[in-house]
Every structure is written in C-alpha cells, then in structure tokens.
Amino acid sequence: MIRVAMVEDDLDVSKFHRLFLSKVEGFELICEAQTVEEGLKQIYQNQPDLLLLDVYIGNRNGLELLKQIRAEGKNIDVILITSANDAHTVQTGHRYGVIDYLIKPFSFARFQEALNRYRANRIDSNQTFSQQEVDRLLHKGGQNQVYTLPKGITKATAFRVIRCLMEADDYLTANELAERCCISHVSLRKYIRFFEAERLIETELIYQNSGRPFQKYKALPESAQFLKASFI
C-alpha cells in the first residue's frame, strides 16, 4: 500500500481529494494538514511515500515546504495540486523534482492517471538500473520509445489488448475488452493499469442510477507508437 500525505487548506477541496484517492486501488491517505507547519510535522512523524501538495496555503507557499523537504533529503515523492499555472511555479516544481503537476480544477481521470503513472514508475530503494532503463525513466516521449514491461506483463498480450482497443469504434468496458482479447479480468486489470500509467489509453467513469459506477476504456493516438517501440 502506498502511503499518502496531503497538505491542502481548502476543506472542500481536500474532501474531493480524499474521495478521488479512495477510488484508486493501492493508495492510503495516512495524514493531512491545512498549514505548511503542520504539513512538515505530519511528514516527519508519518514518513509517507507520496505527498499531495497545494501551492497557495493560507499566506504561505507550498513551494517552501517542497524546498525544505528536498534540502533535508526527505525520501518522499510530490505531486503539486494547485491553481497556480505561472511559469515560475511550474519551473520551481520541476526543478525540485515533483513527479506530476495537476492544475485545478481537474478531472478524476487525470488524478487517477497521475497516481497510476506514479505507481507504475515508482523506484524501489534497492533497485539498480541499466543505461536503457535510466533513459526510459528520464527521457520519455522520444521518437524511439523504450518500454520496461512490469512483472506479469508480456509483450504479446499487451499488443493484443492495445490492438483490441485501437480497433474498437468507441469506448469498451472491461467485460467487452476481456471478451474480445480472450483474457481474464484479473490479468486485464494489470494491463489497463500499465496502459493508463503510460498514457496510452483514456478512461471514462460511467455513473448509473443504481449500483456502483464502472469504467470504459479507449485507445489514445499514442498507442500506435507502442506497437513500434522497443522493450526491455
């Protein structure tokens, strides 16, 4: 389980963040704060893996917190969630190593995409890398795309699933996709997470009059490059 902290001074916004987070498997909110000072205290006490950080926090700036935890070498990943979209804030976040930047207001699909990508690319502290893997991590989106397939993901099945999505005229439910690809729902879930993390598919959450909402999936144009990529 990935342990998450949140620093957000707007109680209504934090409520939606909690709701969104509860819908993404594998993440647990362990602490939250409404001030920079309390945020630092919670981070030191609880040692979360991931921090959801606002920029405008009362009369303080969340970038101060970001700079402090970096200066102190805290091993925590940060996603900035803010209405700030100016060049200075974006550049500062990038320079201090934020793994994603969500501009308010944003959709659940974009929030989910950020968390799934983080989970897929999360670095184990005991992990070692080849040059290709480092290039893959730091230089995504190049013309010669290289993918590292997670454990349990095979190239052949990944190609089959992405082709089924590319050939569909519209969104497919998990049931429809599993049937077309002749793959179990358990296995399909792993491939969907991988494709979401790599931004190869888009997800639409469908709400019903009764019962739980369900998701539908559609291939993005970038998925065509996946079939031409290299794999390690």
What pLDDT, on the 0 to 100 scale, is given for residue 136? 63
Q: How long a stretch of residues is the chain?
A: 232
What pLDDT, on the 0 to 100 scale, is given for residue 223? 85
- Among 69, 131, 221, which Cα is nearest to 53's? 69
The CATH number given to 131-231 is 1.10.10.10
Q: Right CATH number for 2-121 from 3.40.50.720, 1.10.357.10, 3.40.50.2300, 3.30.360.10?
A: 3.40.50.2300
What pLDDT, on the 0 to 100 scale, is given for residue 3? 96
What pLDDT, on the 0 to 100 scale, is given for residue 152? 87
Location of each CATH 3.40.50.2300 domain in the chain: 2-121
With a cut of 50, which residues of the chain have pLDDT below it?
142-143
What pLDDT, on the 0 to 100 scale, is given for residue 18? 94
- What span, in angstroms and rounded, lies between the C-alpha atoms of 62 and 68? 10
Q: Parallel, antiparallel, or unpaired: how do β-strands 201-206 and 214-219 relate?
A: antiparallel
Token pair of 42 as six digits: 């919670």
What pLDDT, on the 0 to 100 scale, is given for residue 36? 94
Matching residue, tokens 């089924």: 164
DSSP 105: S
Classified as helix, coil or strand, 28 is strand
What pLDDT, on the 0 to 100 scale, is given for residue 68? 93
What pLDDT, on the 0 to 100 scale, is given for residue 149? 81
Q: What angle do CA 176, 182, 187 make, to 5 degrees?
A: 90
Location of each CATH 1.10.10.10 domain in the chain: 131-231
